[in-house]
Chain A
Amino acid sequence: MSILIYAESAEGKFKKVAFELASYAKKVAESIGTTVTAVTINTNDVSELSKYGVDKVLKVTNEKLSGFSAKAYADVIKQAAQKESSKIILLSSTTDSIYLSPLVAVSLEAGFASNVVGLPTSNSPFQVRRNAFSNKAFNITEIETDIKVLGLAKNSYGIFENASTLTEEEFNPTIGENDFGIKVESVEKGSGKVSIADADIVVSGGRGLKGPENWAMIEELASVLGAATACSKPVSDLDWRPHSEHVGQTGKPVAANLYIAIGISGAIQHIAGINSSKVKLVINIDPEAPFFKVADYGVVGDAFDVVPRLIEKLKAFKASQS
């Protein structure tokens, strides 16, 4: 009956979403009187999960799973759920988890709600709040099935410490050859840089920056803040920046703690993609830029004047904090 989470890791270290899932699962488990089990795949040291309330870990170690395979990983999670007789399975909204979640749900004949924000609004009947219409509304969804799969929206709940005593158990699910219908030939990852998906802070530049030669200050601001860099659609269409940096409705979604938009007017398609970010700071020379309507903080000013001074002040601030 334990609530099951899939605690994702990368290069042997848990992703932050694993702790967010654990925090959320613990809270739900307390409210319905059960425990939290995490399934991990090829993660050696799982002790950190005990900080966030996980009671038991099913550790899967299998060479075949060294690369990501949605079907194989979904199969592992399904078998873990069956072993624990879990009625609630909680998954994250990373690219990989979004990929495998519907496979888990179908294989368990479970009702599935993705994009869940906040704790269940009711345990019986089981209802959750979900983002809909590009964050312009919420939908309350009731899950009718005995087994329920929830996909938690990124950065929507938070990480809360809640120490527990953790038991570890080796778990050997059956992995079939037909789990590998998709073969990964190669993986290309930008090294050393913070990815938009993992970043707490994203610094984004628009056409107001006038040309690709002016991106040094965006990169420097990002580096001072430990942030990822991003850009608006026109900037990627003009090839000033790589497509991988395009955020917005047809680009990457951003759900950061702080989104800084510099020289971006704020087209509705752009806003739709970044609206899940908690705090939005807009720097734009045009006081009428629509972005100011959805921003939390704004500076009406010339980016070429404001940003370099902001970098210097942030450097001094960071130095004073350390």
Chain B
Amino acid sequence: MKILVCISHVPDTTSKINFSDNDSQFDSNGVQFVINPNDEFGLTRAIWFQEQQAATVTVANVGGPETEPTLRKALAIGANDAIRINANPTDSFFVAKQLAEVIKNGGYDLVIAGKESLDYNGGMVPGMIAGILGYNFLNSCTNIVVDGTTVKAIREIDGGKESVSTTLPLIIGGQKGIVEEKDLKIPNMRGIMTARSKPLTVVEPVDVSINTKSVKFEKPAPKSAVKLVAPDNLDELINLLHNEAKVI
């Protein structure tokens, strides 16, 4: 089984979010970038398939050379090789088109992407890839078992879960549950050393029509300070929730 894991290179959750060039660009100064957490769950599951079912695992990312440390980290965790599509990821459709091209050319059986990225939280890319390629698609996937070309999986739904069956080729939007947090792999020294010599191929992007563009960023208005209510004055709390906030 050939698996492609789509990797987003995103600011760590604890990063301060700032913008430059009249609020038109994300300011990456001093920002620590990581593998998008939803993608990391998917990558870990892919490595499990590699170890248990002799799958090969390729990781791919759309981004400039500055994103290569993130791909190297994925290699250190255990991916066999990496592909960087050398382009600025301008919008979800652009990214989906580039990844779809890689998937088509590489003949991947299973494509694992995170259900959403931490930066734009769009949640659009995996579904768009499926739409472009016409492959089976399962979003919010919390478990996947593959036997030959038969797949059994679980999708999280509002208020519960759904068990589904399908066949490869398949694209999934993965999230926590596909592996648990305790199963995430921290690269060891040997992994880091071997990652340096694993193949990282750079490919040029295909032309894509511009569907959407980012105009600018805004920050939310500063929050007013918390209103503290004394523990012996809960009537006042109920009064505030009812009459001021109007939420009860």
A-side interface residues toward B, CB under 8 Å? 68, 70-71, 94-96, 98-103, 105-107, 110-115, 127, 129-145, 181-190, 193, 195-198, 200-201, 225, 233, 237, 243-244, 249-251, 257-258, 268-269, 272, 278-279, 281-282, 292-302, 305-306, 309-310, 313-314, 317
- Which residues of chain B have C-beta atoms less than 8 A from A297's C-beta? 226-229, 237, 240-241, 245
Assess whether B136 is in contact with A250, with CB atoms less than 8 Å apart.
Answer: no
Partner of B13 from A195, A269, A296 at Cβ < 8 Å: A269
Q: A102-B127, A145-B211 are in contact. Are A139 and B120 (CB under 8 A)?
A: yes
| 8 Å CB contact of B130 from A103, A251, A269 | A103
Q: Could you tell me how many residues of chain B have their Cβ less than 8 Å away from some Cβ of chain A? A: 77
Is residue B219 within 8 Å, beta carbon to beta carbon, of the partner chain?
A: yes
Q: Does B29 contact A (CB under 8 A)?
A: no
**Chain B contact residues, majority secondary structure:** mixed
B22: shortest Cβ distance to chain A, in Å? 12
- 24 A-B pairs within 8 Å (CB atoms) are namely A96-B157, A99-B139, A100-B127, A102-B124, A102-B125, A112-B92, A113-B212, A133-B119, A134-B118, A138-B219, A140-B217, A141-B213, A142-B212, A181-B137, A181-B167, A182-B136, A184-B162, A197-B158, A250-B181, A268-B13, A269-B13, A296-B245, A297-B227, A313-B235
Contacts of B166 in A (CB 8 A): 181-183
- Which residue from A144, A201, A250, A269 sits with its C-beta under 8 Å from B248? A201
Interface residues of B in 153-176 (CB under 8 A from A): 156-167, 173, 175-176
Residues of A within 8 A of B212 (CB): 111-113, 141-145
CB distance from B13 to the nearest CB of A (A): 5
* Complexed CA–CA distance, A102 and B136 (Å): 13
Binary contact readout B10-47 vs A (1 if CB under 8 angstroms, 0 otherwise): 01011001010000000000000000011001000000
In the complex, the answer to whether B226 meets A298 with C-beta atoms within 8 Å is yes
The residues of B that contact A112 with a CB separation of less than 8 Å are: 92-93, 124, 128, 211-212
Establish whether residues A98 and B123, one from each chain, have CB atoms under 8 Å apart when the complex forms: yes
Asked if A129 contacts B218 (CB within 8 A), the reply is yes
Which residue of the partner chain, among B161, B175, B216, B231, contacts A140 with CB atoms under 8 Å? B216
CB atoms of B217 and A132 under 8 A apart? yes
User: In the complex, which residues of chain A have a beta carbon less than 8 angstroms from the beta carbon of B182?
Assistant: 237
List residues of chain B with CB within 8 A of the CB of A187.
157, 160-163
- Kindly state the separation between the CA atoms of A110 and B11 in the bound complex, as whole angstroms: 28
* Contact (Cβ within 8 A) A181 B136: yes
Per the bound structure, the CA–CA distance linking A291 and B186 in Å amounts to 29
Contact status A133-B17, CB under 8 Å? yes
Cα–Cα, bound, A251→B156 (Å) = 11
Closest to B245 in A: A279
Query: Assuming the A-B contacts A112-B212, A134-B121, are A309 and B234 also in contact, with contact meaning beta carbons closer than 8 angstroms in the complex?
Result: yes
B72 to chain A, nearest CB (A): 23
Can you list, as one digit per residue, whether each of B131-161 has a CB less than 8 Å from chain A (1) or not (0)? 1100011111000000000001000111111
Q: Are A137 and B219 in contact (CB under 8 A)?
A: yes
Task: Please name all residues of chain A whose beta carbon is closer than 8 Å to the beta carbon of B163 when the two chains form the complex.
Answer: 184-188
> Which B59-109 residues have a C-beta within 8 angstroms of A?
92-93, 96
Q: How far is the CA of A106 from the CA of B128 in the complex (A)?
A: 6
Chain B residues with CB under 8 Å of chain A are: 11, 13-14, 17, 19, 37-38, 41, 92-93, 96, 118-128, 130-132, 136-140, 152, 156-167, 173, 175-177, 181-182, 210-220, 223, 226-231, 234-235, 237-238, 240-242, 245, 247-248
Q: How far is the CB of B144 from chain A (nearest CB, A)?
A: 12
Given A101-B124, A225-B248, A281-B241, do A137 and B159 touch, yes or no (CB 8 Å)?
A: no
Distance from A222 Cβ to chain B, minimum over Cβ atoms (Å): 12
Closest CB in chain A relative to B133 CB, distance in Å: 10
**Across the two chains, which residue of chain B brings its CB closest to A305?**
B231
Contacts of B247 in A (CB 8 A): 200-201, 257-258, 278-279
Give Cα A251–Cα B237 distance, bound, in whole angstroms. Answer: 29
Q: Which residues on the A side are within 8 Å of B231 (C-beta)?
A: 299-302, 305-306
Alpha-carbon separation in the docked complex, A136 to B18 (Å): 10
Partner of A298, one of B160, B167, B227: B227
Contact indicator A137/B158 (Cβ below 8 Å): no
Q: With both chains docked as a complex, state the minimum distance between the C-beta of A224 and any C-beta of chain B, in angstroms.
A: 10
Judge whether A137 and B218 touch: CB under 8 Å. Answer: yes
| CB atoms of B158 and A110 under 8 A apart | no
Q: Which residues of A have CB within 8 Å of B138?
A: 182
Known: A132-B121, A297-B245, A317-B238. A243 touches B218 (CB 8 A): no
Q: How far is the CA of A30 from the CA of B38 in the complex (A)?
A: 39
Find out whether the CB atom of A249 lies under 8 angstroms from the CB atom of B118.
yes
